[in-house]
Structure 1
Amino acid sequence: MAFRKISISELSFNPFDKIGKQWMLLTGGDSSSFNTMTASWGQLGVLWNKDVFTCYIRPNRYTYGFIEKGECFTASFFGEEFRQALSFCGSNSGRDCDKVKEAGLTPAEIGGCMAFEEAELVLVCRKLYSYDLQESGFLTDDGIPEKFFSKDPYHRAYISEITGVYVKE
Structure 2
Amino acid sequence: MFKDIHYNEYTKEFLEQLPKGVFLTVKDGEKINTMTIGWGNIGVIWSKPIITVAVRYSRYTYDLINHSDEFTISIPLNGQLKKELGYCGTKSGRDVDKFKECGLSAVKGREVDTPVIGECDLFYECKVVYKQAMEPATLDQIIDEKCYSNHDYHVLYYGEIVSSYIKEK
- Alpha-carbon distance, 1:95 to partner: 1.1
Aligned-partner Cα distance in 2 for 1:32–1:19: 27
In structure 2, list runs of 5 or more residues that go unmatched.
Answer: none
Q: Per-residue CA shift, 1:56-77, capped at 9, x if unaligned?
A: 0001101111111113110110
Q: Per-residue CA shift, 1:33-80, capped at 9, x if unaligned?
A: 211110000011111001111000001101111111113110110131
Question: With structure 2 as the length reference, what TM-score do the two structures score?
Answer: 0.90
- Alpha-carbon distance, 1:152 to partner: 4.5
Q: 1:24 touches 1:40 (CA, 8 Å); kept in 2?
A: yes
Stretches (4+) displaced over 3 A: none
Residue identity opposite 1:116 in structure 2: I
Percent of residue pairs identical:
34
Q: Does 53-62 or 8-17 show the bigger shift?
A: 8-17
The residue that corresponds to 2:59 in the other structure is: 61
Provide the secondary structure at the position in 2 that maps to 1:67. Answer: helix
CA RMSD of aligned residues (A): 1.7
Matched residues, number: 165
The residue that corresponds to 1:121 in the other structure is: 122
Q: 1:43 touches 1:53 (CA, 8 Å); kept in 2?
A: yes
Question: With structure 1 as the length reference, what TM-score do the two structures score?
Answer: 0.90
- Alpha-carbon distance, 1:9 to partner: 4.5
Aligned-partner Cα distance in 1 for 2:29–2:81: 22
Q: 1:26 touches 1:36 (CA, 8 Å); kept in 2?
A: yes
